[in-house]
Structures are given as structure tokens and as C-alpha cells.
């Protein structure tokens, strides 16, 4: 898909205006380059999905999920497609963000620094 997708942009704007408590708490700690100078954007449309937080420079996506995402097959498909596009995806539960914010921030910082092994190897494309 090329160009602006106005429908996805409208959805992203609505999600920005209606963040969950956990998303708001995390956003207030990662915005304005607070983690090692890395810029994050929120509710960013990528290949037909709206991702909670994205560091474009490091191709890192952070998702904050509630219980409705437990064992979600659609989340697995979404993550696989995003990984195929070269992104890394970190998922945190709302209660982790609200109850262990420093641990969540430490995990994000470790991932941004490239100190953790990639959770999913990137698939081989076009035989390369």
C-alpha cells in the first residue's frame, strides 16, 4: 500500500485521543526522547495495522495489551507480518506497565541498545 491511507490515519487519531491508562503511563515515559535519545511516535499506521508505539530509527514496535489479547491468533499473524517488514515487536500487559514500569522501561532500553537476542529470526526473502 502506497501513499496516505486516510482511514488508518483517522483510526490512529481516534486511538491517540482514547489511550488506555497503561498506554498513557508508558507514553509519558518514552516520549520526547527520554530513553537514550530515541524518538517514539504513538498510534502509528504500519502495513494496515495501527501500532501503539514505534521507534522508526530502530524499527521497534511496542504494544501494550489488555486481557482481550490473551492467546490472540490475530496478534500472532500481525506480529509475523511486522517482523517480515523488518520490525521487532515487544508486547507488554497493561498490568506490567502499571505495576512494573521500571522493568518495562529497562526491557525497552535493552532492546533499543541491541543487547537482547532477537526473539524471532527474520525470514529469508527472495532467496537472499
Domain ranges in the chain are 6-109
pLDDT level of residue 5 (50, 70, 90 thresholds): confident
pLDDT of residue 108: 98
Task: Give which of 69, 10, 59 is closest to 39, Cα–Cα.
Answer: 59
Residue 2: the pLDDT is 60
Indicate whether 99 pLDDT > 70.
yes
Question: Which position has the higher pLDDT, 2 or 19?
Answer: 19
What pLDDT is stored for residue 90 in this prediction?
97
Query: Average pLDDT in the 45-58 region?
Result: 96
List of E strands, 48-125: 49-55, 60-65, 88-93
What CATH architecture is 6-109? Answer: 3-Layer(aba) Sandwich (3.40)
Amino acid at each position: 500500500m502506497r501513499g496516505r491511507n486516510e482511514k488508518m490515519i483517522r483510526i490512529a487519531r481516534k486511538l491517540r485521543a482514547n489511550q488506555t491508562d497503561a498506554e498513557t503511563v508508558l507514553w509519558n515515559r518514552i516520549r520526547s526522547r527520554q530513553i537514550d535519545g530515541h524518538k517514539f511516535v504513538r498510534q502509528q499506521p504500519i502495513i494496515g495495522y495501527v501500532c501503539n508505539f514505534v521507534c522508526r530509527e530502530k524499527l521497534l514496535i511496542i504494544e501494550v495489551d489488555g486481557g482481550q489479547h490473551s492467546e490472540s491468533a490475530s496478534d500472532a499473524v500481525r506480529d509475523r507480518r511486522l517482523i517480515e517488514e523488518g520490525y521487532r515487536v515487544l508486547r507488554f500487559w497493561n498490568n506490567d506497565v502499571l505495576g512494573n514500569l521500571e522493568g518495562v522501561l529497562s526491557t525497552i532500553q535493552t532492546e533499543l541498545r541491541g543487547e537482547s537476542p532477537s526473539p524471532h529470526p527474520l525470514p529469508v526473502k527472495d532467496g537472499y
